[in-house]
């Protein structure tokens, strides 16, 4: 009987401790979420999946701070040492095996394809992110910021619901309409994952 009471007391104490630790963990998560919301009122995520039988995969995150849109992430499965084009495309549809369901470059201002921020009469597509270079392991980092995009505000500069395409080749920044960047080897839709 004494043994039974002892085990019962231990069981009650253990369950109380477990509840307390779970509560503390939940509070920590909420605090972390709250601070994230305060710093980044809108957060987006793009999961890049392979197209055209490639091995490309990646995760890109987007956040807005003080009207600046930041894009950052990693892409793997690229050709080691090679330069690959990155573009925002008009449709948020990555359903086709070749990525063509994403449509053409996102170009809300109706300009010619070109180099980002180059001050020419022709301008550039707002989807002309540019090029990334893969390291010896086939991994490339995307780090990009601009005040020319918006996120989750339903304006014509809003990139939410568009797609990101990774191309097999580099964008030559000249050829029309898309820079002669080759096959679409990765595609992901820009989705909202947090909003204040």
**Catalytic positions, please?**
87, 89, 105, 113, 125, 128, 167, 184
**Tens digit of pLDDT for each residue in 24-59?**
333 333 333 333 434 545 688 999 999 999 999 999
Q: What pLDDT does residue 25 have?
A: 33
Please tell me the predicted confidence (pLDDT) of residue 120. 66
Q: What is the distance between the alpha carbons of residues 75 and 140, in angstroms, rounded to a whole number?
A: 5
Global pTM value: 0.76
- In this prediction, residue 14 has a pLDDT band, given cuts at 50, 70 and 90, of very low
Q: What percent of the chain has pLDDT over 70?
A: 74
Report the DSSP pairing between strands 42-50 and 68-76: unpaired
Please name the residue that has the structure tokens 């084009």.
Answer: 85
**Architecture of 42-195 per CATH?**
Sandwich (2.60)
- Closest-CA residue to 68 (of 150, 128, 125, 153): 150
- What number of CA atoms fall less than 13 Å from residue 56's CA on the CB side? 32
Is the pLDDT at 67 greater than 50? The verdict is yes
How do residues 151-187 score in pLDDT, each as one tens digit?
A: 888 888 999 999 999 999 998 878 788 768 899 999 9
pLDDT at 153: 84
Angstrom distance (rounded) from CA 184 to CA 91:
14
Residue-wise DSSP of 17-32 = HHHHHHHHHHHHHHHH
For 167, list phi and psi in degrees, rounded to 5.
-105, 160
| Residue 133 reports pLDDT greater than 90 | yes
- For residue 36, give the 3-state DSSP assignment: helix
């Amino acid at each position: 009987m004494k043994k039974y009471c002892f085990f019962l007391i231990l069981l009650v104490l253990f369950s109380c401790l477990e509840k307390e630790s779970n509560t503390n963990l939940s509070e920590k998560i909420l605090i972390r979420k709250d601070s994230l919301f305060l710093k980044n009122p809108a957060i987006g995520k793009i999961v890049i999946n392979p197209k055209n039988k490639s091995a490309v995969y990646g995760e890109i995150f987007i956040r807005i701070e003080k009207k600046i849109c930041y894009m950052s992430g990693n892409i793997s499965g690229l050709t080691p040492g090679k330069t690959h084009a990155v573009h925002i495309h008009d449709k948020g549809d990555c359903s086709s095996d070749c990525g063509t369901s994403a449509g053409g470059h996102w170009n809300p201002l109706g300009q010619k394809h070109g180099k980002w921020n180059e001050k020419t009469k022709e301008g550039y597509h707002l989807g002309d992110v540019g090029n990334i270079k893969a390291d010896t392991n086939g991994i490339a980092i995307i780090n990009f910021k601009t005040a020319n995009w918006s996120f989750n505000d339903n304006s014509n500069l809003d990139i939410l619901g568009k797609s990101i395409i990774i191309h097999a080749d580099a964008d030559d920044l000249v050829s029309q309409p898309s820079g002669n960047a080759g096959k679409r080897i990765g595609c992901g839709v820009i989705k909202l994952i947090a909003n204040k």
